């Protein structure tokens, strides 16, 4: 039987959407019918119960995920407890290979899941991107300063930077497929965090 899943995402500058589209391609290659939805364009009558599994993704800005993502995750939590579900976080902080950065990302994710009362089977965090070509003058300066403080390296605002580890995204998809097929490493109701987080 062909599985049907939905990928709901909240994106600001497009990297979370790009990751969702990459996942959709991988799922379809594996015979899984995957449909992406931008949370801002989600049909009013959307329900997770029409799918065999659901993935929710959100980008971090100013220390928070999109409010609509949090609100929907909280609303859907009872339904998601009955099916394979997963959450992926996208942030620049994930690109910094330090214990402090890992702790910060973990705390953000934990707070989100606690507030939404959702226990996804899989949780992952992926590094985002610096898209200077989409920033205005002041945001370009701000993001340059933030990135240089965080990494200790010079950043050129005349080009874009992509930090997403696509191999980790591929592994996330493969693991979710195993859960869809009932071959997950543990019960679907128990939170599982792959190496990406």
Confidence (pLDDT) at 196: 46
| Burial (CB count <10 Å: 0-12, 13-18, 19+), residue 154 | exposed
151: confidence class by pLDDT, cuts 50, 70, 90: low
Domain boundaries, the chain: 4-128+164-180, 132-162
| In the predicted structure, residue 185 carries a pLDDT above the cut 80 | no
Confidence (pLDDT) at 4: 96
Question: 157 versus 197: which is more confidently predicted?
Answer: 157
pTM value is 0.86
Range 134-161 average pLDDT: 83
Confidence (pLDDT) at 79: 95
- Helix boundaries (H) for the chain: 15-29, 67-80, 99-116, 137-151, 166-180
Confidence (pLDDT) at 184: 55
Q: φ, ψ for residue 183 (rounded to 5)?
A: -115, 25
> Looking at domain 4-128+164-180, does it have CATH number 3.40.640.10?
no
| In the predicted structure, residue 23 carries a pLDDT above the cut 60 | yes
Q: How confident is the prediction for the chain on average, in pLDDT?
A: 87
Confidence (pLDDT) at 2: 87
Range 9-31 average pLDDT: 94
Confidence (pLDDT) at 62: 77
CB 47 within 8 A of CB 79: yes
Confidence (pLDDT) at 191: 40
What is the spatial distance between Cα 166 and Cα 19, in angstroms, rounded to a whole number? Answer: 8
Confidence (pLDDT) at 188: 35
Confidence (pLDDT) at 1: 56
pLDDT tens sequence across 110-121: 999 999 999 999
Sign of the torsion formed by the C-alpha atoms of 187, 6, 71 and 59: positive
Which range has the worst mean pLDDT, 52-61, 93-102, 125-134?
93-102
């Amino acid at each position: 039987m062909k599985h049907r899943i939905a990928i709901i995402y909240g994106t600001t500058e497009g990297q979370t959407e790009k990751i969702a589209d990459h996942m959709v391609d991988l799922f379809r290659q594996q015979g899984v019918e995957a449909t992406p939805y931008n949370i801002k364009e989600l049909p009013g009558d959307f329900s997770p119960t029409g799918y065999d599994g659901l993935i929710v993704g959100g980008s971090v800005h100013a220390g928070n995920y999109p409010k609509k993502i949090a609100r929907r995750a909280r609303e859907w939590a009872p339904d998601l407890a009955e099916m394979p579900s997963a959450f992926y976080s996208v942030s620049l902080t994930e690109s910094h290979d330090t214990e402090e950065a890992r702790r910060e990302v973990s705390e953000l994710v934990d707070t989100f899941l606690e507030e939404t009362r959702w226990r996804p089977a899989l949780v992952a965090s992926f590094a985002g991107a610096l898209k200077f070509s989409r920033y205005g003058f002041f945001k370009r300066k701000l993001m340059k300063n933030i990135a240089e403080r965080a990494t200790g390296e010079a950043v050129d605002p005349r080009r874009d930077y992509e930090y997403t580890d696509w191999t980790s995204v591929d592994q996330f998809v493969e693991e979710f497929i195993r859960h869809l097929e009932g071959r997950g490493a543990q019960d679907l109701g128990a939170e599982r965090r792959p190496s990406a987080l």
